[in-house]
Amino acid sequence: GDSVTQMEGPVTLSEEAFLTINCTYTATGYPSLFWYVQYPGEGLQLLLKATKADDKGSNKGFEATYRKETTSFHLEKGSVQVSDSAVYFCALVPRSYNTDKLIFGTGTRLQVFP
């Protein structure tokens, strides 16, 4: 079935370091891909999304490119801040569904230290 695989965390970085969180997916057809972020004590928030191959989603300095050939949607940021510390979830909505059923990865905790 459709699934999302994320790198296990926690990812621990110093402020201003480069961030990559890997995400790969398995799905029939061409799913829509998402990154959600969950700050401590808050609900998940949509960070960025891409709906077709080669699309690049970007927001708040984060980027991810929909790579069909490698079935990947890796999250990157050039210079992380302490305020980026959160749990990041990669997710997809399969094209085969008529509803927007989100399928999530397990989440990756990011810890940024000053």
Partner 1 sequence: GAVVSQHPSRVICKSGTSVKIECRSLDFQATTMFWYRQFPKKSLMLMATSNEGSKATYEQGVEKDKFLINHASLTLSTLTVTSAHPEDSSFYICSARGSGRRAITDTQYFGPGTRLTVL
Q: Which residues bind partner 1 (CB under 8 A)?
A: 4, 36, 41-46, 89, 99-107
Longest dimension (CA), the chain: 45
CB of 43 to partner 1, least distance (A): 4
Given the complex with partner 1, which of 1 and 114 has the nearer CB atom? 1
Could you tell me the two tokens for 78?
A: 């050039």
For partner 1, the closer of residues 42 and 69 by Cβ is 42
Residue 11 or 17 with smaller CB distance to partner 1: 11
Least Å distance, CB 84 to partner 1, is: 18
β-pairing, 11-14 with 103-104? Answer: unpaired
Shortest spacing between CB 106 and partner 1, in angstroms: 5
- Measured between alpha carbons, how far is 86 from 106 in angstroms, rounded to an integer? 13
- State how far the Cα of 6 lies from the Cα of 97, in Å rounded to an integer: 22
Identity of the residue, 4 or 64, whose beta carbon is nearer to partner 1 in the bound complex: 4
Q: How far apart are CA 15 and CA 5, in angstroms?
A: 26
Minimum gap (Å) between residue 98 Cβ and partner 1: 11
